[in-house]
Chain A
């Protein structure tokens, strides 16, 4: 139907990209609305990135700012790496949603509100003194006051539905309006509605009617300036799906375990924003997954260590406060030299901090946060989809090198999602285990392979390989307890060297740019999208700025130094006080390594980054 309406009575403006933000009460179904819009846009061929913004409180009172749930999506005909800085279109279903989301709306952009929700009681609850539709709060925006609630009610008249169900369909009315505005088909969402409400035809009918009513309403009113057209992006051919960072992490771990024919054992204790990995893995116990919700984070990591000791892939997932609790046990895995994957979905800290907000401040705890000399491999995913790849690599490295590996993701990656051209598991790199061997008929638990320095993984149940390991210092080769001073030094250095040698098995970093830039922008982990977009836009404007992004934090890729040496100014951008910058400075003390940091629980904005880089290019 919408296809025939491409040239409606209004003019059509073509855009490269657009940011849309849906905001409403937690019960208004904004997440669903946002994901439907995203899915339809993906099918249409746009590239996109999404980010949900949940309230921290589960059931904050209706109509309050605390109870507002938002969903932002950026769609484009160009490559999209972030959900966007500011919304070109903000849909606010009530005054509270307007109040808390106005900060995310671009001046000059469109704001669509449900006029019916702007009654005194709601206005007051949201903390406005006067009605924002009547004062000059919205003077800088094009405001569309749509009586969404009452029109939804009218549209659904005659259906056997109670008032609550009718009101719950108003998100579909808003979605219908957006579909008209962006020239999208209603087909996929109608299909979705039909399948979701298969058992309640009245609800299916109601939601479809609301969706269509919104579409026609938008077409009819004069308030919307024009229809926007965002042509399909040039996207690599293939089969795509949407994926969030947490799901990708779970599946990447599963893919690694399946590849090597081991069970995946997850010991975990719930914590935002990591719990969804536990939830996702708990659904797949038929695929060789065992999950245990442990009594605390210490038990979680210890049970994973026990599972690895017994020959399966032991994994534990958490966020900052939980990682702090796991430190001693991770040290045990360092000493016992057994595989362990620790996923840290970073959030704002210290202490309980900002549970639902993103931050990148756990690099120090990941690299250094254990007693004594306790090296571990540290990886960081940089997009929701590549959490799959790095979770897989974390498991591969842990098993091949017999070491704990810490995978850093963050709240932004974990909950963000993007279209993903997913691989076949057979295309993932193979995993080659160091077999436990005997020399002269004797098994020495700490005999190492010459290249990786990994010891063999002898698993209980294997006759002839009975042995004891533990947290006490080991004599080299035999693994017996040893307090010998020179042996200790040798073992400390060997464990460090073993982790360093992982660098021989990871890819070099690649520079984006032609290598003649004045300025090298350095990022790591979840800030990739914003940094990449900012640098690309500057490069298109012929600014001499290059970019590298790190996924391997410890050890660093081998070519890091060679790349850094080409630049006289390096700016490390991160959502903390400069932890990665400090790490790099300690490795490359002679280089001019500067730091740009932000600690607001929010990702970088492309605009702010561009300003920073332009400033750096001046001198």
Chain B
């Protein structure tokens, strides 16, 4: 193989686009996510050959084919496990794992929570369209109760998962939420996720135009932007609405929406976002906010530093190596009780 990198020092978006025809449906939210990603990667200063995109199965999971990086399109739901093996095999790699909501939270639910629990330093993107796209429109674990789909002709009777609750339940160290209609926010968050050391979970509210169109319109539609999107930033007050007049206040053990200037509310009453708080209680409350009574929180909701799985493994290896009795397999073969037949 070639010793020298035949890549330019500074990458552009083009460097990350593969030559494969992109085959998502016209108008699918996945296109803008792909574009945000090819915008984000050149900002990271990581050699292109060190990026690996791993995925399971689904529309979302086709993503690696469209990236001009290393890519592995694996089997349904198992992407986090494959990505874990990739990262442990070579910790230098920047590993990205792309999942749909069915892939991540139904068939692959176990791997999803265990990746987060281990806090391996990979980035997981969850494309949440609240539907099974590739298999043509069955309800998913994130579909709202009542959703009419091919497999729920009378409406789903199940209760949906909220990704953030699983992330926090699994002791996740990074959770961010973004929407496919905001390329700038997506790019920012992808860069942010890449820099987080530990498992980064980015949930992208993605629109499936074919089987679940406008599922997120309550948040993403132009007319809802002001009132139902709250862009959180660490260290900043949780303000939203036209002219940032509305805010989130902690009242007892509950969040509430308040308006500056009404009932004597000033900026001092507004909760300041602390993404770095180890205690996830407020992160959970923020993540659970949803229309119609609340705006939806977008941005990095939780970002705490904890030892990663790969770090722990490296430390362990170092420690064991210091006191090692055997330095090769030959040493091992000779170890313990042996005898000679002469």
The answer to whether A296 and B110 touch across the interface, beta carbons within 8 angstroms, is: yes
The answer to whether A460 and B339 touch across the interface, beta carbons within 8 angstroms, is: no
CB neighbours of B240 from chain A (8 A)? none
- CA of A286 to CA of B130, assembled, Å: 45
CB neighbours of A459 from chain B (8 A)? 90
Residue interface bits B43-76, CB-to-A below 8 A is 1, else 0: 0000111111010010000001101111111110
- A133–chain B nearest beta-carbon distance, Å: 37
The answer to whether B317 and A285 touch across the interface, beta carbons within 8 angstroms, is: yes
The answer to whether B110 and A467 touch across the interface, beta carbons within 8 angstroms, is: no
A302 with B85, Cβ < 8 A, contacts A290-B313, A460-B93, A468-B64 known = yes
CB neighbours of A292 from chain B (8 A)? 84-85, 88
**Interface positions of B from 9 to 38, Cβ below 8 Å from A:** 18, 20
Number of interface residues of A (CB under 8 A): 72
- CA of A378 to CA of B2, assembled, Å: 34
- CA of A481 to CA of B62, assembled, Å: 11
The answer to whether A287 and B64 touch across the interface, beta carbons within 8 angstroms, is: no
The answer to whether A460 and B333 touch across the interface, beta carbons within 8 angstroms, is: no
Task: Say yes or no: is B321 at the interface (Cβ < 8 Å to chain A).
Answer: yes
The answer to whether B89 and A311 touch across the interface, beta carbons within 8 angstroms, is: yes
Task: Say yes or no: is A42 at the interface (Cβ < 8 Å to chain B).
Answer: yes
**Per a CB cutoff under 8 Å, which of B73, B81, B330, B336 touches A299?**
B81
- CA of A267 to CA of B337, assembled, Å: 30
The answer to whether B73 and A471 touch across the interface, beta carbons within 8 angstroms, is: yes
- CA of A263 to CA of B85, assembled, Å: 12
- CA of A303 to CA of B88, assembled, Å: 9
- CA of A45 to CA of B338, assembled, Å: 12
A295 with B114, Cβ < 8 A, contacts A237-B341, A287-B326, A463-B4 known = yes
The answer to whether A306 and B86 touch across the interface, beta carbons within 8 angstroms, is: yes
Smallest CB gap from A235: residue in B: B341
- CA of A469 to CA of B90, assembled, Å: 18
Task: Say yes or no: is B208 at the interface (Cβ < 8 Å to chain A).
Answer: no
The answer to whether A299 and B329 touch across the interface, beta carbons within 8 angstroms, is: no
- CA of A255 to CA of B332, assembled, Å: 10
Task: Say yes or no: is A566 at the interface (Cβ < 8 Å to chain B).
Answer: no
Residue interface bits A422-440, CB-to-B below 8 A is 1, else 0: 1111000000000110100
The answer to whether A467 and B70 touch across the interface, beta carbons within 8 angstroms, is: yes
Task: Say yes or no: is B342 at the interface (Cβ < 8 Å to chain A).
Answer: yes
The answer to whether A241 and B72 touch across the interface, beta carbons within 8 angstroms, is: no
The answer to whether B81 and A306 touch across the interface, beta carbons within 8 angstroms, is: yes
**Interface positions of B from 266 to 316, Cβ below 8 Å from A:** 313, 316
**Per a CB cutoff under 8 Å, which of A239, A287, A466 touches B339?**
A239
Task: Say yes or no: is A124 at the interface (Cβ < 8 Å to chain B).
Answer: no
The answer to whether A306 and B339 touch across the interface, beta carbons within 8 angstroms, is: no
The answer to whether A467 and B71 touch across the interface, beta carbons within 8 angstroms, is: yes
- B85–chain A nearest beta-carbon distance, Å: 3
The answer to whether B81 and A286 touch across the interface, beta carbons within 8 angstroms, is: no
Q: Chain B at the A interface: mostly helix, strand, loop or mixed?
A: mixed
CB neighbours of B71 from chain A (8 A)? 466-470
Task: Say yes or no: is A453 at the interface (Cβ < 8 Å to chain B).
Answer: no
Q: Chain A at the B interface: mostly helix, strand, loop or mixed?
A: mixed
Task: Say yes or no: is A310 at the interface (Cβ < 8 Å to chain B).
Answer: yes
Task: Say yes or no: is A476 at the interface (Cβ < 8 Å to chain B).
Answer: no
Size bracket of the B interface: 35 or more
The answer to whether B54 and A241 touch across the interface, beta carbons within 8 angstroms, is: no
**Per a CB cutoff under 8 Å, which of B70, B84, B330 touches A466?**
B70
- CA of A459 to CA of B93, assembled, Å: 11
Binds B, one of A216-224, A328-336, A588-596: A328-336
A306 with B90, Cβ < 8 A, contacts A241-B338, A436-B1, A467-B71 known = no
Smallest CB gap from A435: residue in B: B1
Task: Say yes or no: is A294 at the interface (Cβ < 8 Å to chain B).
Answer: yes
CB neighbours of A42 from chain B (8 A)? 339
CB neighbours of B262 from chain A (8 A)? none
The answer to whether B2 and A299 touch across the interface, beta carbons within 8 angstroms, is: no
CB neighbours of B72 from chain A (8 A)? 306, 309, 336, 468-470
Task: Say yes or no: is A62 at the interface (Cβ < 8 Å to chain B).
Answer: no
The answer to whether A463 and B329 touch across the interface, beta carbons within 8 angstroms, is: no
Task: Say yes or no: is A314 at the interface (Cβ < 8 Å to chain B).
Answer: yes
Task: Say yes or no: is B6 at the interface (Cβ < 8 Å to chain A).
Answer: yes
The answer to whether A425 and B89 touch across the interface, beta carbons within 8 angstroms, is: no
- CA of A44 to CA of B13, assembled, Å: 73
Task: Say yes or no: is A238 at the interface (Cβ < 8 Å to chain B).
Answer: yes
- CA of A470 to CA of B89, assembled, Å: 18
A332 with B90, Cβ < 8 A, contacts A286-B320, A461-B49 known = no
CB neighbours of B18 from chain A (8 A)? 468
- B328–chain A nearest beta-carbon distance, Å: 7
**Interface positions of A from 399 to 451, Cβ below 8 Å from B:** 421-425, 435-436, 438
Task: Say yes or no: is B231 at the interface (Cβ < 8 Å to chain A).
Answer: no
- CA of A438 to CA of B328, assembled, Å: 35
**Per a CB cutoff under 8 Å, which of B88, B92, B110 touches A307?**
B88
- CA of A163 to CA of B51, assembled, Å: 64
The answer to whether B332 and A254 touch across the interface, beta carbons within 8 angstroms, is: yes
The answer to whether B92 and A461 touch across the interface, beta carbons within 8 angstroms, is: yes
Residues on B close to A: CB < 8 A?
A: 1-2, 4-7, 18, 20, 47-52, 54, 57, 64-65, 67-75, 78, 80-90, 92-93, 110-111, 114, 313, 316-317, 320-321, 324, 326-330, 332-334, 336-342
**5 A/B residue pairs, CB under 8 Å, sorted by A:** A310-B85, A314-B85, A438-B2, A461-B92, A463-B5
| Closest 4 pairs between A and B when the two form their complex, measured CB to CB | A306-B85, A470-B73, A303-B85, A302-B81
